Amino acid sequence: MDADKLAVQVADLTVAYQEKPVLWDVDLDVPQGVLMAIVGPNGAGKTTMLKAILGLLTPAAGHVSIFGKPYQQQRSLVGYVPQRGSVDWDFPTSVLDVVMMGNYGKLGWVRRPGAADRRAAQSALEKVGMADYADRQISQLSGGQQQRTFLARALMQDAQVYFMDEPFQGVDATTERAIVDLLKELRAQGKTVLAVHHDLQTVPEYFDWVMLLNVRRIASGPVNEVFTDENLRAAYGGRVGFLNKRQDHEPA
Amino acid sequence: MVAGSASLTSDKTMSLLDLLNSLLFDHTIRTVALGTATLGIVSGVLGSFAVLRKQSLLGDALSHAALPGVAIAYMLTGSKSPAVLMLGAGAAGVLAILLLINITRQTRLKEDSVLGIVLSVFFGFGLLLLTFLQRNPDARQAGLNTFLFGQAATLLTRDVVTMAIFGGLALLFVAVFWKEFKLLSFDREFGASLGLPMPRIDMLLTTLLVVAVVIGLQAVGVVLMSAMLVAPGAAARQWTNHLGRMTLLSALFGALAGVAGALLSSLGTGLSTGPVIVLCISVIVLFSLVMAPNRGLLWNYLRQWRNRRRLRTEAVLENIYLMSSQHDDPSHPHAITALEAVSGAGNVRRSLEELQRRGLAVPYDGNKWALTAEGVRAAQTRLQPAQKDEK
């Protein structure tokens, strides 16, 4: 594949906490405009991989490029949705305020968000079905609403590539629907999404690409090519009781 | 506090007037009050961030760590000038931060253990230097001891000016880096993903916290300073869900405690200012914890009580309805004793009276009660979803 066309290219990424490697020599090529699920058992290094790609922790080795250039130069093209549980939702601030944080990187020093940022944040909230919650104190949100607030903040970044850490974790049906619609809209706009995902059964329905990870990369590519029983067994070991159920679930 | 005691007797009213009088016209008291107000404002603003970042212990560590800085500054320069001693305190504070960051990064110790270690090592070393210096009569006169518990009465105009300049600078930094500090406090990793230099922003905010500590040392002392950093923010958080308003309120609480403490200790009772200021802010904290709407204990208690009463009343409503539906007439009256047997614990009569006020139930010959037509409808709508579930 031509390197310029790749939205994300990861080479030899290795991360170790103390001596134990949590991510070993991972290579990953993601073309533009795909929705990629990152799946793997607990402790497989999914979150670690996202954080290493985003430079939030220092890898022992490896290189990340976005659209053919080193990540550090392309940061403005990248959006991030952290795990919902990573912040204190009792922080004294409003939904709109959190969404506007998505623009802090582009605002620069000293400047405060203005009326234009406010409007942009409001329209990002509309896209996730949260338009009526702009002034709500964030501690009053349900889990699904918290997740949608984080998604709106990422939309505010107006990025080309989005990294999402378990966007579907513990959300209600409305939110799940809203996220799926949003992912499809992003893909239609030619954006690329990499999302850590836990529910194997919905992978073929929600995503078109998948990466199977367990410290090493087991496989990555289009869902219909690499989301196979063999690869899943390699990633999850023997614990894949869901495989038979998956047959029933697959769209007819 | 002051206003409360003033209304008791005319004697007390006089003393309130005296206090106001001295605040406005007595040079010494005015200076002290201005100084402690400055300290309250600066520590209130920076303490808000410490509270929100769950770094209350950091303020404690930084203030204790300042003590050896004061002693060393005196030993090196022989100067008793507060500006020099404050500079020493500040340098020791910054050194403590650097140690904290590096020990946390290089070892597997958790941050709270490192805070504890830095706090006790620096404070112990500071006490050691102080006892050593006490043997020297010059040093005794320099009043280094006052940095332990503070001595606001020693504040001179030039000290207050120094405090105001440093404090004003610190507040200016907070205003300029407001959105960065907010992002740091709420979601540091997201900030880093935006490419903002979060470690440097953290270092800046922590340095400003050291400035707040240094400003308070002379008046409140290293031991009580941590209260001035944590208490105003903790109290302010109770009243608002808005970061800007919380910070302003925290500054106001800090200033209020500062002025009240300075005035109360000037009454000539021999109370030192630092502890009185800390007591004043503690009263504000206590009041806020109990009385604040939404987050206050009293409010919570009332909400629980109201919910419990509502649930009890609705249970009684459902029970009358269910008992009546065994007859053909849904508004068949029932004796209170029967209802008590079905509803179990709780005051059934009070619940019935509540239902009567809402027009849902009516009493018959004293001890019997029945639902009104309205009450029957209310009970039916309440029970409907439950019956659907059963199907």
Average pLDDT over residues A122-144: 93
- Would you call B186 and A105 a contact, using CB atoms and an 8 Å cutoff? no
pLDDT, tens digit (0-9, with 9 covering 90-100), for A109-121 = 878 888 999 999 9
Residues B16 and B163 in one domain: yes
- The answer on B285 and B248 residing in a single domain is yes
Tell which residue, B186, B202, B189, B183, has the closest CA to residue A50: B189
What residue of A is the nearest CA neighbor of B295? A90
Is A54 in Cβ contact with B193 (below 8 Å)? yes
Q: Do B183 and A101 touch (CB under 8 A)?
A: yes
Give B346-360 pLDDT, tens digit per residue.
678 788 888 888 888
The CATH number of the domain holding residue B108 is 1.10.3470.10
pTM of the model: 0.85
B218 with B357, same domain: the answer is: no
Q: CA-to-CA distance for B64 and B67, rounded, in angstroms?
A: 6
Helix (H) or strand (E) holding B251: helix B243-265
Residue A166 pLDDT exceeds 60: yes
Q: At B323, which CATH number?
A: 1.10.10.10
Please tell me the total count of domains within chain B: 2
Least confident of A17-21, A238-242, B290-294: A238-242
**Can you tell me which residue has the tokens 């140690």?**
B99
Q: Which domain holds residue B347?
A: 299-383
Give the 3-state secondary structure of residue A59: coil
Q: Which of B277, B292, B307 is the last residue of a domain?
A: B292
- Chain segment B165-221, per-residue pLDDT in tens: 999 999 999 999 999 999 999 999 999 999 999 999 999 999 999 999 999 888 888
Handedness of CA B244, B250, B254, B256 (dihedral sign): positive
The CA distance from B336 to B319, in Å, is 11
Residue B47 lies in a domain: yes
Query: DSSP 3-state assignment of A210?
Result: strand
- Residue A75 has its nearest CB partner, among B178, B186, B195, at B195
The A residues from 152 to 211 touching B (CB cutoff 8 Å) are: 153, 157
Mind telling me how many Å the CA of A14 is from chain B's nearest CA?
Answer: 19
Question: Could you tell me if B114 and B193 lie in one domain?
Answer: yes
Q: Note whether residue B201 is domain-resident.
A: yes
Please say which residue of B265, B292, B319 terminates a domain: B292
Q: Are B333 and B368 in contact (CB under 8 A)?
A: yes
Instruction: Answer whether residue B106 is part of any domain.
Output: yes
Mind telling me how many Å the CA of B187 is from chain A's nearest CA? Answer: 6
- In 3-state terms, what secondary structure has residue A154? helix
Q: In angstroms, what separates the C-alpha of B242 from chain A's closest C-alpha? A: 5
Interface touch B241/A139, C-beta < 8 Å: yes
| pLDDT tens-digit readout, A21-49 | 889 999 999 999 999 999 999 888 999 99
Examine residue B390 and state whether it is found in any structural domain, yes or no.
no
Position B11 confidence tier, pLDDT thresholds 50, 70, 90: low
Q: Which secondary structure element, helix H or strand E, spans residue A28, and what is its range? A: strand A20-31
Rounded-to-integer distance, Cα B146 and Cα A47, Å: 51
- Measured between beta carbons, which residues in chain A are less than 8 angstroms from residue B235? none
Where helices occur in chain A by DSSP H, the ranges are 46-53, 95-100, 104-107, 115-127, 143-156, 173-188, 203-206, 223-226, 229-236, 242-249
Residues from chain A that touch B187, judged by Cβ atoms under 8 A, are 82, 86-87, 101
Does residue B187 sit within a domain?
yes
- Written as six digits, the tokens of B116 are 């504890």
| Rounded-to-integer distance, Cα B170 and Cα B204, Å | 10
Best to test chain A binding among B193, B245, B295 (most A CBs inside 10 Å): B193
Mean pLDDT of B311-323: 82
Q: How far apart are CA B88 and CA B73, in angstroms?
A: 5
Torsion over CA: B21, B22, B24, B25 (sign): positive
Residue B58 sits in the same domain as residue B114: yes
